[in-house]
Amino acid sequence: MAAITAAMVKELRERTGLGMMECKKALVEAEGSVDAAIEELRKSSGLKAAKKAGRTAAEGVSLVKVSDDKTVAFILEVNSETDFVARDDNFMNFANDILEAAFAKGETDVAALMAGELEGKREALVQKIGENVTVRRIVKVEAPVVGGYVHSNNKIASVVALTAGTEELARDIAMHVAAVNPRVGQPDEMPAEELEKEKEIIRAQPDMEGKPAEIVEKMMGGRIKKFLAENSLVEQPFVKNPDQKVGDLIKSAGGELVSFVRLEVGEGIEREEVDFAAEVAAAAGTGKA
């Protein structure tokens, strides 16, 4: 058996991005052959990725790509376990590869998109960085005019679709969407269950107690109207000019709102509460064993 030299370990680390001890172990098992070690590591990468798959991935990035003619946009979310990894070049390159592939294929089905080569890239990245990585969602937006915006930290991305206007206008409104987070585009799009929930909250407020039903309903109507205005994109004051509603801004450009999409990293994911003190104590106990 060939001796495992520091140069061999260095080469394997550079070609795989793995840790020194893992590389040395692989070389021992491959009897000093770097190529054989890489082959065996590739075979085992699927198992390693599967072991990581149960870990909560609630960090990551949201990204947008808009077509040259400004009529199609793709927006997606790719998750990692930690924000540190989300800022790593390897992770960002992978996320951009996914976005480019989705755009090129016109694919929004994550499972269909990830079948084959891209899943291999994901597993290789999981092995390299030691964290679970998931492609969570991809959305396609198509309209006469679309514009996208990505917040500087890549945590929030948004796309706005209009019937007319400019890409710059759509992008400005997408920036508003990212900042203000409207629930719906138009007041009449608010789900009935959301309205009922809000009405229950209003009825339970102290100043409603003891008032006649007709007064309660009148006050209810005013507060529901305010609720809808605050949570509907077209009724909100535009962030760049609070004296103008978003809907009026769009109309001034001769257009109407078609739709909007806003993806915020980790929204809706139940994050696992980690007791780091317990983890450290457990690791210390294991180390002594």
Answer with the residue of higher pLDDT: 212 or 270.
Answer: 212
Answer with the residue of higher pLDDT: 253 or 202.
Answer: 253
Residue 95 CA to residue 90 CA, distance in Å, equals: 9
pLDDT of residue 17: 65
Among 71-75, 140-144, 242-246, 271-275, the range scoring the smallest mean pLDDT is: 271-275
Residue 61 CA to residue 94 CA, distance in Å, equals: 11
**Cβ–Cβ < 8 Å for 12, 38:** yes
Residue written as tokens 């001890």?
A: 21
What's the whole-number average pLDDT of the chain? 87
Apex CA 50: angle with CA 48 and CA 56, to 5°?
110
Average pLDDT over residues 200-221: 83
Average pLDDT over residues 261-272: 84
Half-sphere exposure of 263 (CA within 13 A, CB side): 27
Domain parsing of the chain, residue ranges: 6-51, 59-190+232-264
Instruction: Report the greatest alpha carbon distance in the chain.
Output: 92
Average pLDDT over residues 25-52: 74
Band (pLDDT 50/70/90 cuts) for residue 288 is: very low
Tell me the two tokens of residue 283. 């690791």
Q: How many CB atoms lie within 10 A of CB 12?
A: 24
Residue 178 CA to residue 263 CA, distance in Å, equals: 8
How deeply is 280 buried, as exposed, middle or buried, from its count of CB atoms within 10 A (0-12, 13-18, 19+)?
exposed
What is the tens place of the pLDDT at every residue in 223-256?
899 999 999 999 999 999 999 999 999 999 999 9
* pTM of structure: 0.74
Q: What would the DSSP string read from start to end of 66-119? A: E-TTSSEEEEEEEEESSHHHHTSHHHHHHHHHHHHHHHHHT---HHHHHTTHHH
Band (pLDDT 50/70/90 cuts) for residue 106 is: very high
What is the tens place of the pLDDT at every residue in 59-88?
999 999 999 999 999 999 999 999 999 999
Band (pLDDT 50/70/90 cuts) for residue 187 is: very high
Q: Which CATH architecture has domain 59-190+232-264?
A: 2-Layer Sandwich (3.30)
pLDDT of residue 244: 97
DSSP one-letter code for 31: T
Please determine whether the domains at 6-51 and 59-190+232-264 fall in the same fold group of CATH: no
Is the domain defined by 6-51 classed in CATH 1.10.510.10? no
Helix axes 117-129, 89-105, angle to 10 degrees: 170
